[in-house]
Structures are given as structure tokens and as C-alpha cells.
Chain A
Amino acid sequence: MKPQKAAPAPSRRLTKVMTGIKGFDEITEGGLPRGRTTLVLGGPGCGKTVFALQTLVNGAHSAGEAGIFVAFEESTQQIVANAAIFGWDVAGLEKKKLFFLDAKLSSADVAAGDFDLSGMLAVLAGKARQMNAKRIVFDGIDVLLASLEGTTAERREIYRIRDWLLEMGLTGIITQKAGSPDTDERYGFLQFMVDCVVVLRQQLTEGSAFRNLRVVKYRGSGFAGDEFPITLTGEGLQLTNRGPTELTYPVTDERISSGLDRLDNMLRGGYHRASNILISGAPGTAKSTLCGLFAAAACERGERTLYVSFDEGASQIVRNLKSVGIKLAPHIKSGLLSMYSTRTRGPNVEDQFGALRNKVREHKPHCLIIDPLSALSTKLSHLASADAAQQFLDFLKIEGITVVNTSLMDGLNTDEATATGISTIADTWIHMSYVVQDGERNRALTIVKSRGTGHSNQVRELTLSDNGVTLTDVFVAQGKVLMGVARWEWEQEEEAAAKRVKVASELRRLQLQLAQAEAAARLQVVQTEMDAREAEIKLLADATGSAKQLLRTDRAVLRKMRHADEEIRARRTIAGDTDGDVGRV
């Protein structure tokens, strides 16, 4: 029997039904086709049932449209219980807006020949009229179809449902397992007879599960045909790749302390409020310590803070930070600080970000620490997780939350490049590295970038001690950065050199003083000598003077005497010859 029935021509323009699934209504330009049938295909655990039920619940809640859920695979109790996880008030809605039909065939039923769904559809028609239902879900239709004998009967029943939906004017969602070649071949025709086909797919990337959604077909409507990552959050299913396509969020010039004065100085005043700060570095480069400082500083300002850690327990973090003088315990006690520790492995990345979102909504922090964000990003090779991270960070920015996250650099060759791509969305990027030199490892801190603020380009050495954390200038000598003991030695050496210079100059001064003293002493001797000479000269002069005088006197006397002599001589000459000697004088 070949179905010849053509689908009745659409009597009115295509209108749409909002699913309330964040992102889905956007990519389908309004949701599912009203009054038509949508087929949701997917393997087990992809979220088909959630997709369908969420559309019903949203219809009942937001649009006031009653809905019917026909469960072929799970019991209605199971479905209601599962829905409770998402906080949908299914039980409340069940009274007026939702009706669940348990259409699970009992295994005890004896199959004795061909059957059809006309009875069930008659029942549903009555119910739909009574409730004025607009939406209906047939969940797990393959289970029922499998109990039919032969594909012809299967097709016949599918067409029966499709035509019934059109006749009733109901918006239908049929979910069906897909993924195995067998089912794909068997139920491939389903895709041709419905107006809209949505495929949910789960894939494993590096051991982690990702869920994706793709609209394969949508008659009479435009749609985005890409595969979109989806997340099961506390509120249900949502497309991860959404959020503001236009990035608009309030920005502020307010600065908040990083918890480390010198780092604040390097950043010209601290982190920007509502910015996101990436601290990257190898293991043990004190990334967590910087996180701890920030958390403590935030709490001391009286701001609510959420500290998210992966693979390290909260109490261990508190203890470790205490060892470097950062005390978080009192803030935890006061309720300002909330610690949330979880495993990296486990739910997929989108779900983890979903969980984080819920934590943020719960605690309403001003400041958030994720240590390390790269714990999630081991899976970030997958585009979807990078998307998820970006979505999450955008969400924080809109909420005005300042977030400090760390990123582990595995291996030393990564240098200053994060594989995650988080760095491109980080407003401030601080990189911690080891400098290995002279047999030691020291921690160096550099600010790689900081949007909207001037920042120091200098490398600082970070030291940890019982008293806390300090940033020290590093020395650059002979083109090498000196840190740790080398820096200390350099400092010592500088000091010694200065001392040497001081001593040497003192010595020189003394020597000069001595020389001067010697010279002065020599001068004194000379002066004394001169005085002596002078005295001598004077004496001599005196002596000479008196001698001359004497001489003159003598001569005078002599002359007088001679005169006398002459007189005598004359007398003598006159009187005879006298002594010859006297006359020769």
C-alpha cells in the first residue's frame, strides 16, 4: 500500500510556536511550525524528551497553551519525575494545562494481529477538545512502531498521526530514536513527511560527551542549518551558542584591588570591576595564591565572592592559602565567601558551565574565581567548549561580576600562548613563569595585556613566605634577569662594592690629609729655617754694619792717629828718619 495522500495545502501563512528553548527559537526564526509536525531525531540520552516536554511546558507557562504528552517509551511518572529536575511545575500544570497519556504497551499484552492507532487518536481528540490543547508530543514513537507488523503498517500509522494532527490543527512533535543504520533506513521516510526535522546528536571528543542540535529541514521557513552545541541546564535544554551577538554591557572605570599592592600599582590601580582576568602559568607558579589574595581582598571589602576550584578540595585550598598568610576561613564562616569544588571529569563542558551559572545565581557574587578555568579547557579543543566558556564569561560580564580565572600551561613550550583562546577574551592577562637560573626556580610575574589601563612592562619576582606574598623588582645584569639567590647575591655584591668605594675614598682622603700635613710640616720647617736664616742674615748685616762703622771709626781714628803720626812723622822727617813700617800703612 503506497500512501498517495498529499499533504493538504497550507490554508494560512506559516506561523510559529515558541519552544522556550533558549537559542532554538532564534535559529528557527520563531520556533516550530504551528499546526504542523516536527520530528525530533536522536540517539538515546540526547535530550529528545526534554526538548519535547520543554516545548509543552513553555507553551503552558508562557503562551497559556494546553498540551498533551503521549509517552510510548517511559511511564508518565518517570517523565514527570525527570521534569522535576528542571524545576518545571509539571504537577501544577498537569491539573489544567498538561495531560500525560501513558501509551506504553504492556509486555503482558498478547499481540494477535494487526492493529492501529485510531482508537488512541480518538481518545486524544476527545481530550484535546476538552482541554483546548494546542500542542501535542508523541514521545518515542519508534517503540510503538516496532510492535507493528511490517513497515507498511508503520508508515500507515505515521501518516495517520500526521493527518490527524493537521485535522486537529495541533502543533505536533514526534520524537524518535535514530543513529543506528537500521533505524535510519527504516524510519528515514519520516523525515520526508514532516515539515520540520531537528536532529540531536551526542558525540564524544577526548572522552567527553557533547550534545549538538541541528535543524535539518524546515518547510517554508529560513533556519540556521549549523550544528549547535546544546546544554542541559537547571532550566532545561538550551543552545550554548547564543547570548548577545552584539556585545553590550555596562562598563565601569571602577578599580578593585588585586589583593597585592604592588600588582595594583603595576596595573595603575588594580583590576577593572566586571572585567575578566586571566592568570596563566605552569603548575606551582602561585596562580592560586593570586586567586586567594583576590578573594580575601574582595571579602574584606565586604563583597560576596565565589571560589570555584577543580580537582582540588575547598578545605585543601583554604589550608594552602593559609600557609602564605591568606585567611579565607573567617569569610567562609561569615557567608561572604562560598567555595565550590568539583571534578573536571563528569558532566560535559556545557553542563558544567550550566552548573556554574546556577552557582552564580545562587550565591550572587561580586567576584568570582575559577581555578583553573583550563580544567574545563582540556576539552576546549572542541569548538563548542570554547563557545561555552565565552558564553559564560559574557554572562558574568553582563552580571557585572569580576572574574579571576587561571589557566594551566602544560609543558614549557607553550610559553605565552593559551591553547584555549580564553586569552583573547580576557581583559587582563597576567602570566606567571619560572625563571630557572643558577640551580633554582623563581617565580616571575608579567602583565601580558590589560585592556583600558596602562600597565607596567616590567617583570617582577614573586616570593612566597609565611608572612605573605611580595613582589620584588628584578635586576637586569649583563642582559640577564636576576632572581632569587642570584638577585640577592647581586644585591649583596652591589652593597659590598658600594662599601669598597666608600672605604677607598676615605682612605684616599686620609692619605691626602697626611700628605697635606706632611707638606704643612715641611713648610713649617722651611719657614723656621728661613726665619733662622733671616735672623742670621740680620745678624750678619748688623755685624757687617758695625764692622763698617767700626772700620770707618777705626779709619778715622787711624787717620787721626795717622795724622798724628804724620805729624810725628813729619816731625820725625823733620827731625830725622823714623820707622819705615808705619809709613807704609
Chain B
Amino acid sequence: MAPRSLDSILRLRLYIAGRSPNSVLAESNLRAVCAAHFAAGHELEIVDLLQNSELAARDRVIVTPTLVKMSPAPTQRLIGNLSDHQLVFSTLAAE
């Protein structure tokens, strides 16, 4: 359970598996969406499951890449390499 932040800052956690093609793509896609829409302020934590596999249990991660939006509410999960920027943006911006 991610602690809910009182401020409206966008806090994201991206789970990847090393330098696999989807992992690399997901990271670059996410950075691009954030730069375009959330430049004002966001926090991004990247978890490499090849390094820290035990952290997957925290957010019940099954597939990689998985992006978890922890705040603001509602929390949301996206799976895949985030190639659909429009979908990523609308999901993260949803209130």
C-alpha cells in the first residue's frame, strides 16, 4: 500500500527487467511523456527486478514493464512498454 501523498505531485514507480528491449523502451517512453506533460514536477523510481526481485511483491508485479502510479489518487497500473503515449498520458492524468 503506497502512502498517499497530500500534495498533488505525480509519483511513479517503473518495474523493468534489466536492459531488455521492452524495459529500455518503457523507460524512454515514460521519460518522453513526463517531459511533455508533467515537466512541472514528478518523481520517478525505477526498479530493476533483475537486481531486486524481492521488490516485485510490493506491487504484485507479474510482467515487465509495469508502471505504477502511486499518487495522486486514484492509483493506477499500466503494463507494457508504454509505446502508446496518448494512453499513458490520459491514464496518468485521470483524476
A residues with CB within 8 A of B: 101-106, 108-123, 125-127, 144
Closest B residue, CB atoms, query A70: B62
- Per-residue A-contact encoding for B61-80, CB less than 8 Å = 1, 0 else: 11111110000000011111
Partner of A113 from the list B16, B54, B76, B84 (CB cut-off 8 Å) is B84
Which residue of chain B lies nearest to A160 when distances are taken between CB atoms in the complex? B20
Question: Are B65 and A119 in touch, CB under 8 angstroms?
Answer: yes
Known contacts A122-B50, A123-B56, A105 near B78 by CB under 8 Å:
no
Binding site for A on B (CB under 8 A): 15-18, 20, 22-23, 25-26, 29, 49-50, 53-54, 56-57, 60-67, 76-84, 87-88, 91
Inter-chain contacts of A115 with B (CB < 8 A): 22, 63-66, 79-81
Bound form: Cα–Cα A180–B78 in Å: 31
> Is the beta-carbon distance between B63 and A119 smaller than 8 angstroms?
yes
CB of B26, distance to nearest CB on chain A (Å): 7
Specify which of B50, B57, B83, B88 lies most central, judged by the most chain A CB atoms within 10 Å of its CB.
B50
Q: Are B80 and A112 in contact (CB under 8 A)?
A: yes
Whether B64 and A118, one on each chain, are in contact in the complex, defined by CB atoms closer than 8 angstroms, is yes
Q: Are B64 and A120 in contact (CB under 8 A)?
A: yes
Check if B79 sits within 8 Å of A119, measured CB to CB.
no
Q: How far is the CA of A188 from the CA of B63 in the complex (A)?
A: 24
Residue of B nearest to A108 (CB): B77
Which of chain B's residues has its CB closest to A106's CB?
Answer: B77
Q: Provided the pairs A103-B62, A105-B63, A113-B82 are in contact, do residues A119 and B15 lie with their beta carbons within 8 angstroms?
A: yes
Instruction: Report whether A120 and B78 are in contact in the complex, using a CB–CB cutoff of 8 Å.
Output: no
Known A113-B80, A115-B65, A121-B17; further 13 A-B contacts with Cβ < 8 A = A102-B60, A104-B62, A109-B66, A110-B77, A111-B80, A113-B83, A116-B17, A118-B49, A119-B15, A119-B63, A120-B61, A120-B63, A123-B57
Q: Are A126 and B53 in contact (CB under 8 A)?
A: yes
Minimum-distance CB pairs A-B, first 3? A119-B64, A113-B80, A126-B53
A109-B77, A112-B79, A113-B82 as given contacts; A120 in contact with B62, CB under 8 Å = yes
Q: With A and B bound together, what is the CA distance between A122 and B66 in angstroms?
A: 14
A103 to chain B, nearest CB (A): 5
- Is A112 in contact with B83, judged by CB distance below 8 angstroms? yes
Known: A110-B78, A112-B83, A118-B17. Is A123-B25 also a contact (CB below 8 A)? no
What would 15 A/B residue contacts be, using CB atoms closer than 8 Å? Answer: A109-B79, A110-B91, A111-B78, A112-B91, A113-B22, A113-B84, A115-B79, A115-B80, A117-B64, A119-B49, A119-B62, A119-B65, A122-B53, A123-B49, A127-B53
Main SS at interface, chain B: mixed
Contacts of B64 in A (CB 8 A): 115-120
- Alpha-carbon separation in the docked complex, A103 to B91 (Å): 23
**CB-defined contacts of B15 to chain A, threshold 8 Å:** 119
The interface residues of chain B lying within 8 Å CB-to-CB of A103 are 62
In angstroms, Cα B80 to Cα A105, docked, is: 12
Q: A102-B60, A116-B20, A120-B62 are in contact. Are A110 and B53 (CB under 8 A)?
A: no
In the assembled complex, which residues on chain A have CB atoms less than 8 Å from the CB atom of B16? 119
Chain B residues contacting A122 (CB-CB under 8 Å) are 17, 49-50, 53, 56
A123 CA to B15 CA, complexed, in Å: 12
Q: Is the CB of B61 within 8 A of A111?
A: no
Question: CA–CA, A136 to B61, complex, Å?
Answer: 18
A79 to chain B minimum Cβ distance, whole angstroms, is 16
Contact between chains at A114 and B83 (CB < 8 Å): yes
Q: Measured between C-beta atoms, what is the minimum distance from A157 to chain B in Å?
A: 9
- B61: chain A residues at CB < 8 Å are 119-120, 123
| A425 to B60 CA separation, bound complex (whole angstroms) | 57
Chain A min CB distance to B74 (Å): 10
| Known contacts A110-B91, A113-B83, A114-B22; A119 and B60 CB within 8 A of each other | no
Q: Which A residues are CB-close (under 8 A) to B87?
A: 110, 112
- When A116-B20, A118-B18, A119-B63 are in contact, do A109 and B53 touch as well, CB less than 8 Å? no
Residue contact B17 to A119, C-beta cutoff 8 Å: yes
Q: Would you call B50 and A105 a contact (CB within 8 A)?
A: no
Q: How far is the CA of A102 from the CA of B81 in the complex (A)?
A: 22
Closest B residue to A148 using CB positions = B63
- In the bound assembly, the distance between CA atoms of A102 and B16 in angstroms comes to 19
